[in-house]
Amino acid sequence: MSLFLLAGRYFRNLAPQRRGRGPDGRPVDVRDLFSFEGMRRVLNAVIRSYVSGFSAKGVEPSPPFDTDRLVRRMIDEMGVDRHMEEVLRRLDQDRMSDEEFRRFLLERGLTEAQLAGMEKGAKDITILTGPHLGGFNQRISIPELLEAAGSVVALSIATRWEALLN
C-alpha cells in the first residue's frame, strides 16, 4: 500500500505550491498533474515486483482487482485537497509538555506569532496539514486502496504456496 501511495504522491507533489484551499475556500484541484497511464504502469509494476519477489518465482500476475478503477479513484481523491484538517484535541494537548505543544504546532506550520495567543488545553485546535486521505478520525477516502493491498498480499501468499508445492 505504501508503494501505491508513493506513486500517487509523486504526481501530487509536482506542484507543491498548489495545495489546500483556494481564495474562494474550495479545495484545490490538481488532478491535471496526474498521468492515468503513468499511474497504471507504476501500480502494475509494483504488483508484479511484489508478487514475484515474495513468491521467489518470476511471474506475470494479473491483479486480482480492477487496476484502472483504483487508478481513477486514487487520482480523484489524491488530486483534490478535500481533507486538509488535523485536530489537536484538548486531551492530547494536556498530555504534552509546554515545549512538546509548542514544537508540535511549529512543525505543522504555525508561526511564533500565532502561538503567542494560544493557551494549551483551552480548546481543540484545528490545523490545516493536509491533504489527507479522509477526514480526521474518519474512514480512509479510498477504501479500494485497502482492498487492493489485501488482494496483492493474498495473491503473493498463494503464488508462494504454489511455488513451494511445485
Domain ranges of the chain: 2-82+139-165, 85-129
Q: Look at residue 128 in the predicted model and tell me its pLDDT.
A: 86
HEC string of the chain equals CHHHHHHHHHHHCCCCCCCCECCCCCECECHHHCCHHHHHHHHHHHHHHHHHHHHCCCCCCCCCCCHHHHHHHHHHHHCECCCCEEEECHHHHHCCCHHHHHHHHHHCCCCHHHHHCCCCCCCCEEEECCCCCCCCCCCCCCHHHHHHHHHHHHHHHHHHHHHHHC
Would you say residue 130 has pLDDT above 90?
no
> Is residue 55 very low, low, confident or very high in pLDDT (cuts 50, 70, 90)?
confident
12-20 mean pLDDT: 91
> What are the cell numbers at 151?
488482494
Would you say residue 146 has pLDDT above 80?
yes
In this predicted model, which residue has the larger pLDDT, 75 or 53?
75
13-28 mean pLDDT: 91
Would you say 152 and 50 are in contact if contact means Cβ atoms under 8 Å apart?
yes
Would you say residue 53 has pLDDT above 90?
no
Round to whole Å and give the CA distance between 142 and 16.
Answer: 21
Query: Which range, of 36-40, 90-94, 151-155, averages the lowest pLDDT?
Result: 151-155
**pTM given for the model:** 0.80
Would you say 124 and 88 are in contact if contact means Cβ atoms under 8 Å apart?
yes
